[in-house]
Structure 1
Amino acid sequence: MKQRLIKWFPLVGLVVPWLGISCSGGNNSIKMKGSDTEVNLAVNLAEKFTEQDPNFSIAISGGGSGLGITSLLNGQADIANSSRPLSEEEQQQFKKKNILLKTVIFAEDATAFVVHKDLPIAEITVETLGKILSGNITNWSELIDADYPINIYGRQSSSGTHSFVKKKLAIEFTNAAKEMTGNAQIIEGVKADRTGIGYVGAGYVAEDPIASQGIKVLKIIEKEGEHAISPLDQEAINQRIYFFQRPLYQFVLAESWEKVRPFIAFERSATGKKLIEEHGYYILNNQQDEI
């Protein structure tokens, strides 16, 4: 059966925000939207899955976890990729519309904090990060021997990564933080700004080291006196001792579950797990589905 692959770049900052793999069979058409943290992985999983089963048509777009969840609410997606759990408000919205979901936790991610490669800093405490991102520390001279104003490259409020970092640090982001549309835009911003600091999915950095040249991944110290831990340290992630690590979710409309099930099964196959690990994510032993 003929297979067609299309890549389109409608939004700045997304590496591959839309993928269409098309063939006949409308009942096997899947729409997946959401997290920019997961979008590159989702694209590669879909490509490999449709190579094995060309009867499926899969369309993928990014835009943030919130957008994916909203798309489920509006009937515009079968799967929402999300780097955060549903909020209480979102749970109530689904309940009000009598929409049942299936929840799949399929991998573990770590959030990396990055700076320009020439900035003389290699590690940072959680407390200090909170002060920077909330605007209480505004110049690098308060931390290192460099008199530069700190420029923050963050995500939009619809981003699951934005919500995750905010919750972990128990802060409100400073209004001075730049709101970027995805990992790629943050990386490019920090590359070009010696005073910048940003946060991205560690899997994004690990997957494409060439694209990440020009930036430095900071090691994180949870408490003063403790060892600094890198989000690229797989052993630390396996031991769950990196402060900014989290599960990755896929929320699936219950009415779409039977259609989506073969794709979820592929994610859990040896091939799917290998792809997940190659993207810098980590396989969970307690993968689960909840209805």
Structure 2
Amino acid sequence: MNLTRVNKENNVKRSAIRTALVPGVAVLGLALTACGGGAAGGASGNVSVDGSSTVFPMSDAAAELLKEENPNLQVPVGASGTGGGFEKFCVGSTDISNASRPISEEEIAVCEENGVEFVELQVATDALTMVVNPDLGVDCLTVDQVKALWGPDAKATNWTEIDPSFPDEDISLFGPGTDSGTYDYMANDVVESETENTRTDYEASEDDNVLVQGVANTPGATSYFGFTYYEENADSLKALSIDDGNGCVAPSAETAQAGEYTPLARPLFIYVNAAEYAENAAVATYVDFYIENLETIAEIGQFIPLSEDLYAETQSELEALAAG
């Protein structure tokens, strides 16, 4: 991900909602004080956040908005990838880890070894979007065809090998690197790889802009990334609908929230170090503000806000954390 580009775009979005958010900060501060989080407007200290580049825009927006009323609160947000974030988080190097997939059993074991207890908070929904060059005459893939394209044993080099009715066009593959939570989600939840890998003969990049440009400028090209990046580049890409056996469904906020866009709709999370939340008022203030304003922050990051039921679950998890 190009973080400079993301920051510039989010600055515009932040200014547009500033008036709506800031008046509520004083009221929010009372709620934070009540649950031990510290009052917004007077918080100070440091909060370390790292992890998924996908979740980065949300966590960074939360930090910037909160800092407007808390200039002494420092919340640097890194983007080392979901796996890289958990490596730091599970040895106690960070307070919060952004993640575009659930934490793995191996990562949980590392956290346990280092005495790091945590809570998982879902913050948004994303629709992992399969895209192709706009000139390619392909509009929908079945889940089996996605596996034939990206599975660990996939060897197709021409679109006719995916479906004889598809164009006689060479396949060019672009995708995220192996440290990406987006890669992990494709490998584990979409193509359901026993080796937790996709095919390897593709051009990999951690910068979504590279993937976008690769697909837009290469006949027969395809890639996958978050719905946000497709929306930003819809004029130069074509999104594929996905058929899980119930007909072709296009990626959108509505289909993802309704559970219709399967299996490519995915949850996005932050993981919070429970001890730091209890002992560090800066961490509690940041997390409480984040969740209190979650819908607005998700929209700033251009993600799909949680449904009412999912938001209630996130609030419940945070209340349990606050209660110790």
Q: Does 1:229 align with 2:252?
A: no
The alpha-carbon distance between structure 1 residues 27 and 55, as it changes in their structure 2 partners (threshold 3 A), is: closer
Task: Give the equivalent residue in structure 2 for 1:204.
Answer: 229
Query: Which range is displaced more, 190-199 or 278-287?
Result: 278-287
What amino acid is the match of 1:41? M
Give the match's secondary structure for 1:59.
Answer: coil
- State which of 96, 100, 121 in structure 1 corresponds to 2:113: 96
Give the match's secondary structure for 2:249.
Answer: coil
Task: Give the equivalent residue in structure 2 for 1:141.
Answer: 160
Q: Indicate if the aligned counterparts of 2:43 and 2:282 stay in contact, CA closer than 8 A.
A: no
- For 2:114 and 2:59, locate their aligned partners in 1 and report how far apart those are by CA, in whole Å: 28
Q: Indicate if the aligned counterparts of 2:174 and 2:215 stay in contact, CA closer than 8 A.
A: yes
Q: Does 1:153 align with 2:174?
A: yes
What amino acid is the match of 1:221? D
Q: Does 1:259 align with 2:276?
A: no
Q: What fraction of aligned residue pairs are identical, expressed as a percent?
A: 23
Give the match's secondary structure for 2:48.
Answer: strand
- For 1:15 and 1:174, locate their aligned partners in 2 and report how far apart those are by CA, in whole Å: 27
Displacement of 1:95 in angstroms is 0.9
- For 2:250 and 2:6, locate their aligned partners in 1 and report how far apart those are by CA, in whole Å: 31
Give the match's secondary structure for 2:287.
Answer: helix
Pairs within 5 Å for 1:21-100: 28-100=45-117
Displacement of 1:133 in angstroms is 0.7
Larger Rg computed on CA atoms: 2
Displacement of 1:175 in angstroms is 2.0
Kindly indicate which of the two structures has a greater share of residues assigned to strand: 1
Give the match's secondary structure for 1:70.
Answer: helix
- TM-score of the superposition, structure 1-length normalised? 0.83
Task: Give the equivalent residue in structure 1 for 2:136.
Answer: 119
What amino acid is the match of 1:182? D
Give the match's secondary structure for 1:167.
Answer: helix
Q: Indicate if the aligned counterparts of 2:52 and 2:180 stay in contact, CA closer than 8 A.
A: yes
Task: Give the equivalent residue in structure 1 for 2:124.
Answer: 107
Task: Give the equivalent residue in structure 2 for 1:3.
Answer: none
Taking only aligned residues, the RMSD between alpha carbons, in angstroms, comes to: 2.4
- For 1:87 and 1:174, locate their aligned partners in 2 and report how far apart those are by CA, in whole Å: 21
- For 1:184 and 1:263, locate their aligned partners in 2 and report how far apart those are by CA, in whole Å: 30
Pairs within 5 Å for 1:185-196: 185-196=210-221
Q: Indicate if the aligned counterparts of 2:227 and 2:251 stay in contact, CA closer than 8 A.
A: yes
What amino acid is the match of 1:150? I
What amino acid is the match of 1:49? L
- For 1:280 and 1:112, locate their aligned partners in 2 and report how far apart those are by CA, in whole Å: 13
What amino acid is the match of 1:15? L
What amino acid is the match of 1:158? D
Pairs within 5 Å for 1:164-203: 164-168=185-189, 169-171=191-193, 172-203=197-228
Q: Indicate if the aligned counterparts of 2:82 and 2:99 stay in contact, CA closer than 8 A.
A: yes
The alpha-carbon distance between structure 1 residues 79 and 18, as it changes in their structure 2 partners (threshold 3 A), is: farther
Displacement of 1:219 in angstroms is 0.9
What amino acid is the match of 2:268? L
Unmatched segments (≥5 aa) in structure 1: 1-12, 20-24
Displacement of 1:148 in angstroms is 2.2
Q: Indicate if the aligned counterparts of 1:17 and 1:39 stay in contact, CA closer than 8 A.
A: no
- For 2:219 and 2:230, locate their aligned partners in 1 and report how far apart those are by CA, in whole Å: 18
Q: Indicate if the aligned counterparts of 1:18 and 1:61 stay in contact, CA closer than 8 A.
A: no
Q: Does 1:130 align with 2:147?
A: yes
Count of residues in correspondence between the two structures:
267
Displacement of 1:221 in angstroms is 0.7
Q: Does 1:250 align with 2:270?
A: yes
